[in-house]
Structure 1
Amino acid sequence: MGVLDGKVAIVTGAGTGLGRGIAQELANAGASIAVLEINGDAAAVAADEISQAGVKTRAYPTDVSVSKQVDDAFAAAARDFGRLDIVVNNAGISRVGPHTQDVTDEDWLESIAVMQTGVFYCMRAAGRIMLPQKSGSIVNISSIRGFSPNPGRMTYCAPKAAVIMMTSVAAGEWAPHGIRVNAIAPGVLRTPMWDADVARGAIDEQYYIDTVPAHRLGLPTEVGKLVVFLSSDDASYITGGVHTIDGALTSIPAG
């Protein structure tokens, strides 16, 4: 039996990459999965593949930056699955390269819309469902860049820092109601988003492999296993924390 048998999880951005890995690990632990993903085709494929773990899955094409789409998707998932126990706010985009003076309005607004406002919309929707039932676990995917700055990443670091504060605020508000809220701060992970940045020359991958004390990149499944733990009863007294998973990158001055 899995530690999450009978639970229902929403994972945003679960069509590919980190979200896909997280959703798979939750499914492997027994949770049914609602795949929220802006790309409808990717959502459908992910839901079909995840269902092979023997759990119920369903795809909900959703743009997390649009409040009505979020509210509708959460309501539909709670109705279709009959409950909602876990929400993982993972959807994100990557903007690497321009220094602050060269950041465009469009890049700034899109990054904030997806990675800050989108997380807020999903937390709000989750809270409205979980508060009446007096239970639930919310895991927000932040980043080490939420507290460890990096040149050329203004539009990424800022919303990831906001996610950490939103996690803390909600954890204090909702702990008396049986709802736990945690953040995870991954370091350098091998994802399609990372590979795309490397391919276009925005990131020197070998530099990071040499710099990370573990001398490798992390894997989405490793973050997924941490999500499973934080969503399980084994973590029943853990809330309001930021849990770093970065191969010790931020433990050294160059991190």
Structure 2
Amino acid sequence: MTGEEIDKAVRQELQSLPKTLAEDVAKNLVMVARLLDEEPEKAYGYARVALRLASRVAAVREAAGFAAYGTGKYAEALKEFRAARRMTGSAELWPLMADCERGLGRPEKALSMAGEPEVQKLDRAGQVEMRLVAAGARRDMGQADAAVVTLQSPELASNAVHPWTARLRYAYADALLAVGREGEARDWFAKALEADQAGTTDASDRLAEMDGVQFTDALVEDEDEDEDEDEAEAEAEKGAEEPRAEAEAEAGGEAQSDGGSEKTE
């Protein structure tokens, strides 16, 4: 890992830094990207290093925001996203900022942000993300039926598959299930699974759960069998040792008896 793996646009941002410093920051940002999904706490650590080295670079503030968001540090994430937005003037982070408000227990604020002019500046993917956040805020507020309505959109009705399609269908299925529309929910979980080529949702598990299918972990079964065998062997050894111990005890008693009679004589 050299830092050259970093996105071209981010590399251009780092050109404002001295060369050695830019390389160090780039390496840390690469590690943030690599670890964010699987090991968010480690990613957060690298993000903090990058932030300490170059807090005036928008890409660094954005990466720090994603790392904080990934570890549930919503107040910190919101702070970093706001800073990045001030530096770039872009509305791209608006849905994430709204979701941070949800994470902080302020769904009303998140819902208010869904109606702000910034949403109109988002691309199609960003608007879908904003719709997902708004639906989540509705559910946070106990408005389950309103969440279902919020997710109904041309994007949901479309048969085309985009990177966000599976998540949108999954959220709709989950919202339907929350209001007791199980048959429709099952259909939409199936549609989510159909679109989920990257495995971003657990739609297959939800379908199996609704259908009453139970999966058995073969590895766990093997471990259980090994434990049963070990217990059986231990019991067998214990059973064999008990008669042997009794025989030794009896032999010892006889020896003591013989020794006692000789002493009496």
The verdict on a shared fold, with TM-score over 0.5 as the criterion, is: no
Bigger radius of gyration, 1 or 2? Answer: 2
Whose RCO is larger (CA < 8 A, sep 6+)? 1
TM-score scaled by length of structure 1:
0.28
TM-score (normalised: structure 2): 0.27
Name whichever structure is richer in helix by fraction: 2
Q: Would you tell me which structure has more strand in proportion to its own residues?
A: 1
